[in-house]
């Protein structure tokens, strides 16, 4: 069964180092909390708000050993007025036998406000 694992994090500045570090932190937390291996991941979609342009956040996935061949795509979020700024969102499509309620969705930093009803992160 393929399930979606959601996550998001915010950054303070639009610079390559901060974006890559934050994205890597988020991805690693999603991996840890859902006990994932690269072989289970069908694909990862990463979206960013309009104010993030310094680097493709997918670069962070390539820093994780064994994740070289996981398909990753970056895209822009819809620029909804008054929405959360400087936000990186991740949707991992994973093969798992877990039911929906067992999936751990991870929202860090300022992104915790996005889905407090889904945020099961142990890093709160």
Please name which of 4, 6, 8, 5 lies closest in space to residue 87, comparing C-alpha atoms. 8
- N-terminal to C-terminal alpha carbon distance within the chain: 28
Active-site hit among 28, 74, 109, 112? 74
Residues with Cβ within 8 Å of residue 78, at least 6 apart in sequence: none
Rounded Cα gap, residues 30 and 92, in angstroms: 9
Active-site hit among 18, 62, 109, 112? 62
62 is catalytic: yes
77 is catalytic: yes
Q: How many Å separate Cα 58 from the centre of its chain?
A: 10
Active-site hit among 6, 24, 33, 87? 6
Active-site hit among 18, 28, 77, 109? 77
3 is catalytic: no
Element (H, E) at 110: none
Active-site residues, by number, are 6, 62, 74, 77, 89, 107, 115
């Amino acid at each position: 069964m393929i399930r979606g694992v959601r996550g998001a994090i915010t950054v303070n500045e639009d610079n390559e180092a901060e974006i890559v570090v934050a994205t890597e932190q988020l991805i690693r937390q999603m991996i840890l909390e859902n006990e994932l291996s690269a072989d289970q991941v069908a694909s990862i979609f990463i979206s960013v708000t309009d104010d993030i342009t310094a680097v493709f956040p997918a670069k962070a996935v390539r820093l994780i050993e064994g994740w070289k061949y996981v398909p990753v795509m970056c895209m822009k979020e819809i620029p909804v007025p008054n929405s959360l700024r400087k936000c990186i969102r991740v949707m991992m499509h994973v093969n798992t036998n877990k039911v929906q309620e067992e999936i751990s969705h991870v929202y860090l930093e300022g992104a915790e406000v996005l889905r407090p009803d889904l945020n099961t992160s142990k890093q709160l």
